[in-house]
Amino acid sequence: MTTQTTTPETAETPTTGPATGLVALPPHLGRALATAGGALAAVSTFLAWTWTGAFPGNLTVYGYPGGLQVLVLIGGALTTLLGLSTYGVKGLRWLTPAGGDAALKLAALATFATTWYTILAISFQLGGLVNLEPGGYIAALVTLAALLGALALPFQRPEPDPVDPDDTGWEQYKHRLAHGWQTLRATFSAGAPRPVRTLPSYAEILIIVGILALCLTVFTYGIGTEYDELFVGFLITAGFCFAALNKAGLIAQATQITARHQNITICGAFLAAALFPFTQTDDQYATIGVYILIFATVALGLNIVVGLAGLLDLGYVAFLGVGAYAASLVSGSPTSPFDVHLPFWAAVLVGAAASLVFGVLIGAPTLRLRGDYLAIVTLGFGEIFRITANNLDGTSGPDLTNGSNGISSIPDLHILGFDLGARHDIAGFSIGRFANYFFLMLIITAVVVLVFRRSGDSRIGRAWVAVREDETAAQAMGINGFRVKLVAFAVGAALAGLAGTVQAHVTYVVTPEQYLFAGTTPPNSAFLLAAVVLGGMGTIGGPLLGAALLFLIPNKLQFLGDFQLLAFGLALVLLMRFRPEGLIPNRRRRLEFHEEAEAPAVLGKTGA
């Protein structure tokens, strides 16, 4: 038996098919051009890019990058480091465990795209290229040179399948289009990862701390972008830099390290999230933070139904509404028909219990269906809930929900004498109303994560996975498929109702229009399902990250107006095309979508 090893050179240049770059330059010259271009792009951010402060971000200062220049500085620095790593510079080899050429291409593309977006935005807003200072022209030229150098690096050009001469013109066009997609993916493909030495436990824990600090910094920067151009540039830089780090193999290494210390990672993540309100000077962005946590908690509950049990629920947002309505009716609202004001813990139990009961009542007659039929029934339940809440206004039905006016003037929560609606001073920091609710939702999210982990690792969790993979085979092995699915439906509904109780107090009002199947803003059933699928089904971090992105991006893209959904939908299509397993997939889904890429790592030995 002999062991097959992979060197950096063979990782970047597969052994079959023509390995060439898109630009006719020698690879060593292209690598040098990309590295030097990234370094010069970083230097150019210390120059003035425009003469007037009319463009936001103040790009007129020499020696101090501002606004979009900071993003170009990050992209240029990453391009330079990856380029030096491909040269084998001592101390930087750890940056590219899976090979550096593919990562270098994406980093150069990130720097180029952010720079040219900034140049075009300046020209469009200020009235032409005449408004650029020499620093802007230098940045545009050096990033273009860096991109051309990166595209000169070799990649494995896929051999096209033979075209059937009897095919119609449309079929031949689809064939060429499919080959174009394969070529595009091969351009930025990475080779097999090189073996990495295992670090001591304390070093891995320090790495986890650094990862969490980086995540908190990126999230805080993204949520605090003050103008539209900066947020679009942030999306460009963050997206391509994440792809570059993924191709370099750093994301896979970080995943392995966090998996070995899962408890520490989860506790550290909640501690980092708890620090978020202290990074804000006012309550403006804490508002977005608390809504993200509500959306993420509901998405994690849906992940039990969809990700673990494999049940396609298109009306899940109705359980959020049931919990919100139940809590608002017993929380002392003057518009509630019940003269009841229960404490918070009792309102939480009422909201969760009401959603659980509705989950059982809806699931009992419908969970014997499978696939598309179950999806249609759950979609109908979501619409029935909204219409029923509209009709319980005292005219079309009993006076219970005030119809389209909803339950309003819901009072703020008081927990152990602590008024969540008032501003408090903690350790010299002023914590506002939404920051208070942010901490409360963080505790509830921790409870939901605990329930998800414990149920997923339990006997019932393994039964959910078995039913998801093949219900007929699971029943043949003695698993009661109907009972298992009903438990998943009930648990997911209860968790959604738990988040709904807090949502009712945060928004002050609960109306039927908040719980649609689809809309321009979350939470709704379509966005919740997208958060689970795009984030990564069956994982904890996937729905949390997916929910954060799906709430933050539409909130920041409101300046696009009617084109908001078009841009958002295009981004989702591209994400699903290039990462269909989700942003944080489990190993099963990664193997399902990238089995050919995992094969060299799994089959590392061959017969002599």
Residue 566 belongs to domain with CATH number: 1.10.3470
The tens digit of pLDDT for each residue in 227-247 reads: 888 988 998 999 899 889 988
The answer to the question of residue 336 being in a domain is yes
Q: Using one digit for the tens of pLDDT, what is the confidence trace for 391-424?
A: 887 777 677 888 788 888 888 888 877 777 777 7
Is residue 606 a part of any domain in this protein? Answer: no
First to last CA, the chain: 5
Q: What is the pLDDT of residue 175?
A: 52
Q: How many folded domains does the chain comprise? A: 2
Report the pLDDT value the prediction gives residue 170, as an integer from 0 to 100: 54
In three-state secondary structure terms, 537 is coil
Among 205, 229, 256, residue at a domain's last position: 256
Residue 92 within a domain: yes
565-599 pLDDT, tens digit each: 777 777 778 777 777 777 777 766 666 665 544 44
Q: How far, in Å, CA of 575 to CA of 581, rounded?
A: 10
Q: What is the mean pLDDT of residues 37-58?
A: 90
Residues 362 and 229 in one domain: no
SS3 34: helix
Better-scored residue on pLDDT, 587 or 357:
357
* Within a domain: 238: yes
**Half-sphere exposure at residue 253, Cβ-oriented, CA atoms within 13 angstroms:** 22
Burial class of residue 235 (count of CB atoms within 10 Å of its CB; 0-12, 13-18, 19+):
buried
What distances in angstroms separate CA 518 from CA 3, 28, 148, 524, 530, one per listed residue? 53, 51, 42, 6, 11
The whole-chain average pLDDT of the chain stands at 80
255 confidence band (pLDDT: 50, 70, 90): confident
Whether the CB-CB separation of 496 and 355 falls below 8 Å is answered with: yes
Q: Is the peptide bond before 398 cis (omega within 30 degrees of 0)?
A: no
Residues 67, 25 share a domain: yes
Domain finish residue from 227, 256, 285? 256
The mean pLDDT of 458-482, rounded to a whole number, is: 85
In 10 A of CB 475, how many CB atoms? 15
Do 413 and 486 sit in the same domain of this protein? yes
Does the pLDDT of residue 289 top 80, yes or no? yes
- Confidence band of 225 (pLDDT split at 50, 70, 90): confident
Using the structure block, give the residue that is written with the tokens 């990126």: 218
Average pLDDT over residues 47-74: 90
Check residue 234 and give its pLDDT. Answer: 92
Express the helix, strand and coil content of the chain in percent, nearest 5 each. 65, 5, 30
Does residue 558 sit in the same domain as residue 481?
A: yes
Do 33 and 122 belong to one domain?
yes
The pLDDT confidence band at residue 203, using thresholds 50, 70 and 90, is confident
* 351 shares its domain with 420: yes
pLDDT over threshold 80, residue 608: no
Strands 429-431 and 424-426, sheet pairing: antiparallel
pLDDT of residue 145: 93
pLDDT at 522: 67
Do 467 and 550 fall into the same domain?
yes
Which has more confidence, 506 or 2? Answer: 506
Whole domain around residue 229: which residue ranges? 11-155+185-256
Give the model's pLDDT for residue 607: 39
Instruction: Please indicate, yes or no, whether residues 227 and 359 belong to a single structural domain of this protein.
Output: no
352 sits in the region (left: phi over 0; alpha: psi -120 to 50; else beta) called alpha
Query: Which secondary structure element, helix H or strand E, spans residue 20, and what is its range?
Result: strand 19-20
Question: What percent of the chain stands above pLDDT 70?
Answer: 84
Which of 241-245, 368-372, 417-421, 466-470 holds the top average pLDDT?
Answer: 241-245
| Cα(480)–Cα(379) distance, integer angstroms | 25
Q: What is the DSSP letter of 305?
A: I
Residue 584 within a domain: yes
- Per the DSSP assignment, residues forming a β-bridge with 415 are 418
8 A C-beta contact, residue 379 and residue 314: yes
Q: For 469, what's the count of Cα atoms within 13 Å in the CB-facing half-sphere?
A: 13
* pLDDT given at position 116: 94
Please determine, for residue 64, whether its predicted confidence score (pLDDT) is greater than 50: yes
Tokens (6 digits) for 122: 């300046």
Q: Are residues 286 and 246 in the same domain?
A: no
Residue 588 covered by a domain? yes
Q: Which residues of 260-296 are buried (b: 16+ CB within 10 A; e: fewer)?
A: ebeebbbebbeebbeebbebbeebebbbbbbbbbbbb
Query: Is there a single domain that holds both residue 248 and residue 283?
Result: no
Residue 408 lies in a domain: yes
Alpha helices (runs of H) in 87-200, residue ranges in sequence order: 101-126, 134-151, 169-187
Distance of CA 320 to the CA centre of its chain: 21
Name the pTM for this structure: 0.79
Report residue 579: phi and psi, to 5°: -145, 70
Question: Do both 86 and 197 map to the same domain?
Answer: yes
Please report, rounded to a whole number, the percentage of residues in the chain having pLDDT higher than 90.
Answer: 15
Neighbour tally for 337: CB within 10 Å: 15
Has residue 241 been placed in a domain? yes
**Given this model, what pLDDT does residue 158 score?**
47
Is there a single domain that holds both residue 248 and residue 294?
no
Domain stops at, among 228, 256, 284: 256
* pLDDT for the residue 381: 86
